[in-house]
């Protein structure tokens, strides 16, 4: 029927600014939540790069929450900023995954995150030094289908950047 307007597709509806912000917020929270579960639930101690890769998520989460509450144009601006933040996150993940595969060297100062309570005295500290192994940024702690957590982070951050960027473009075009 020529005169009947077509309903927007699911992809069109999901990339509108508010749904896009909500999807990116849920995806980002699930991703960093998964990392925290691996750390605290399964005992995987994160390396320096792992902790650095979480920072874009921590920065983006409140911005995404604000984008849900602000008018369309401001939400579009925040989504554009979040897209850039997740592009940086994707680059960090790709760098880390590349270091794990030996494509380039990782940082020379890579060590693990906090692995427990602080020692009570010097003797406890010396014992903890003997038992502590620094986490190497160039060794993947876990892989699924040949891809490490850093590799998955790069892919997820890239997808979140694309979704946020699409929502930003749609918001800014309509304002």
- Helices 72-101 + 48-69 axis angle, to 10: 170
CA 99 to chain centre: 18
Q: What is the pLDDT of residue 56?
A: 97
Q: What is the pLDDT of residue 112?
A: 46
Q: What is the pLDDT of residue 119?
A: 61
Structure tokens, 7: 């309903």
> What pLDDT digit, counting tens, does each position of 77-89 carry?
999 999 999 999 9
With a cut of 50, list the residues of the chain below it in pLDDT: 112-115
> What pLDDT digit, counting tens, does each position of 19-39 carry?
889 999 999 999 999 999 988
Side-chain-facing half-sphere of 97: CA atoms under 13 Å: 17
Q: What is the pLDDT of residue 79?
A: 95
Q: What is the pLDDT of residue 50?
A: 87
Q: What is the pLDDT of residue 46?
A: 86
- The C-alpha torsion from 131 through 141 and 26 to 165, rounded to 10°, is 120
Contact call for residues 44 and 142 (beta carbons, < 8 A): yes
| pTM of the entire predicted model | 0.76
Q: What is the pLDDT of residue 91?
A: 96
> Nearest to residue 106, comparing CAs of 144, 156, 71, 148?
148
Q: What is the pLDDT of residue 113?
A: 44
The backbone torsions φ and ψ at residue 169, rounded to the nearest 5 degrees and listed phi first, read: -60, -40
């Amino acid at each position: 029927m020529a005169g009947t307007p077509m309903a927007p597709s699911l992809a069109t509806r999901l990339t509108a600014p508010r749904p896009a912000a909500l999807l990116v917020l849920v995806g980002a929270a699930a991703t960093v939540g998964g990392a925290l579960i691996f750390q605290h639930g399964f005992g995987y101690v994160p390396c320096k790069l792992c902790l650095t890769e979480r920072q874009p998520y921590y920065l983006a989460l409140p911005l995404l929450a604000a984008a849900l509450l602000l008018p369309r144009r401001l939400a579009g601006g925040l989504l554009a900023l979040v897209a850039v933040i997740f592009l940086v996150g994707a680059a960090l993940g790709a760098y880390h995954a590349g270091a794990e595969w030996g494509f380039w060297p990782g940082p020379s100062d890579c060590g693990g995150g906090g692995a427990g309570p602080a020692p009570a005295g010097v003797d406890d500290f010396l014992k903890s030094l003997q038992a502590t192994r620094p986490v190497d940024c160039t060794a993947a702690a876990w892989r699924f289908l040949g891809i490490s957590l850093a590799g998955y982070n790069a892919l997820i951050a890239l997808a979140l950047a694309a979704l946020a960027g699409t929502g930003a473009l749609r918001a800014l075009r309509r304002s």
